[in-house]
Amino acid sequence: MTAPNRSGLVDYVARSLVEKPEVVTIAESRGRSGVSIRLHVAPDDMGRIIGKDGRIANAIRALIRVGASQGDRVSLDID
């Protein structure tokens, strides 16, 4: 899976879950430690993205890690 597909996947999932999809933004950067994806949602939608006990956020993280190439570290930050 290439980098734009990771961001596209996060964007698709996030916009599907929130009530204000127009506020969702994704920023992706590559550093020494791997790829970092930053997801921004409206404050009212934060609970929908994180989920109970962080289950939804962890599920999104698992999806992007599955798509990562071997040895490529991927992190998801939500704000």
Q: In CATH, what number is assigned to the domain containing residue 56?
A: 3.30.300.20
- The number of folded domains in the chain is 1
The pTM for the full model equals 0.85
Rounded CA separation 79/76 (Å): 10
37: number of Cβ within 10 Å: 22
Helix (H, G, I), strand (E, B) or coil at 45: helix
Question: What is the model's pLDDT at position 33?
Answer: 84
Tell me, what's the pLDDT at 3? Answer: 46
List the chain pLDDT tens, one digit each, 79 residues: 444 478 899 999 999 999 999 999 999 998 888 889 999 999 999 999 999 999 999 999 998 888 776 667 889 999 9
**What sign for the dihedral angle of Cα 71, 1, 20, 53?**
negative
Query: Structural domain of residue 56, as residue ranges?
Result: 3-78
pLDDT at 34: 87
